[in-house]
């Protein structure tokens, strides 16, 4: 357990020591996402949302490490109608290496951990609407890998797209379903913070 706690602290310390007086880029981002859950019968993908904050730490000329803290709505819809909707809310921590390919254009890849905050099955039969808490049906921890690209329209405003490929099982009772997402987002960075 001590190694699990000490490893991230060691990585952060090395990053901070390597940058000295370099600028940190921090900001906010938000956007939509297409959620696909594998091995779920009678379901279709859902279009939901995500948003949060990020911190970018330069480590070399065109290379940086970016960490994010996001709130993410995930789930699926009933394939026949919209009577049933599963909605799960996660707190996610993506960490990635970011490489500037061309002026304003960067690509990134890394890993993501997520913690399930809440889960509800929403039922709307046309006459009444109900919501049932079913968090116990899902695993509390989720992880995966990610890759994407971002383009800075101005020094502060950017647009981006990312694919998150879930590697962990979603349900407590089954080892097959996994979550995959495609994200499109807008970001705004506040530049110039010195360490």
Per-residue model confidence as pLDDT tens digits over 46-89 = 899 999 999 999 999 899 999 999 999 998 888 677 678 889 99
Tell me the percentage of the chain whose pLDDT exceeds 70: 83
143 pLDDT above the threshold of 70: yes
User: How would you label 45-62 residue by residue, b for 16+ Cβ within 10 Å and e otherwise?
Assistant: bbebebebebbbbbeeee
Cα–Cα distance measured from residue 169 to residue 129, given in angstroms and rounded to the nearest whole number: 29
Q: 12 phi and psi, to 5 degrees?
A: -65, -45
- The predicted structure's pLDDT at residue 13: 57
pLDDT of residue 118: 96
Report the alpha-carbon distance of residue 150 to residue 106 in Å, rounded. 5
> What residue ranges in 59-170 does DSSP mark as E strands?
63-78, 84-102, 105-124, 129-133, 141-152, 157-166
> What would the pLDDT profile of 20-55 be if each residue is shown by its tens digit?
445 788 999 999 999 988 877 767 888 999 999 999
Q: Show the CA angle centred on residue 93, arms to residues 145 and 28, nearest 5°.
A: 115
In terms of C-beta density within 10 A (0-12 exposed, 13-18 middle, 19 or more buried), how is residue 37 classed? buried
Quote the pTM value.
Answer: 0.81
Beta bridge pairs of residue 4: none
Domains of the chain: 22-194 (2.40.160.20)
Contact (Cβ atoms closer than 8 angstroms) between residue 123 and residue 83: yes
Nearest CA among 18, 24, 33 for reference residue 160: 33
Residues constituting the chain? 195
């Amino acid at each position: 357990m001590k190694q699990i706690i000490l490893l991230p602290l060691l990585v952060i310390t090395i990053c901070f020591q390597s940058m000295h007086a370099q600028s940190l880029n921090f900001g906010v981002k938000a956007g939509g996402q297409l959620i696909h859950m594998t091995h779920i019968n009678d379901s279709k993908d859902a279009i939901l949302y995500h948003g949060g904050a990020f911190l970018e730490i330069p480590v070399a000329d065109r290379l940086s490490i970016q960490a994010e803290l996001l709130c993410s709505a995930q789930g699926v819809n009933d394939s026949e109608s919209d009577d049933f909707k599963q909605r799960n809310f996660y707190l996610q921590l993506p960490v990635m290496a970011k490489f500037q390919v061309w002026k304003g254009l960067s690509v990134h890849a890394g890993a993501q951990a997520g913690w399930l905050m809440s889960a509800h099955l929403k039922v709307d039969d046309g006459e009444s609407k109900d919501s049932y808490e079913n968090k116990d049906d899902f695993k509390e921890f989720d992880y995966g890998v990610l890759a994407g690209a971002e383009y800075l329209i101005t020094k502060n405003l950017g647009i981006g797209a990312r694919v998150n490929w879930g590697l962990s099982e979603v349900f407590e009772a089954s080892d097959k379903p996994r979550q995959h997402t495609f994200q499109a987002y807008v970001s705004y960075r506040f530049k110039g913070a010195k360490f």
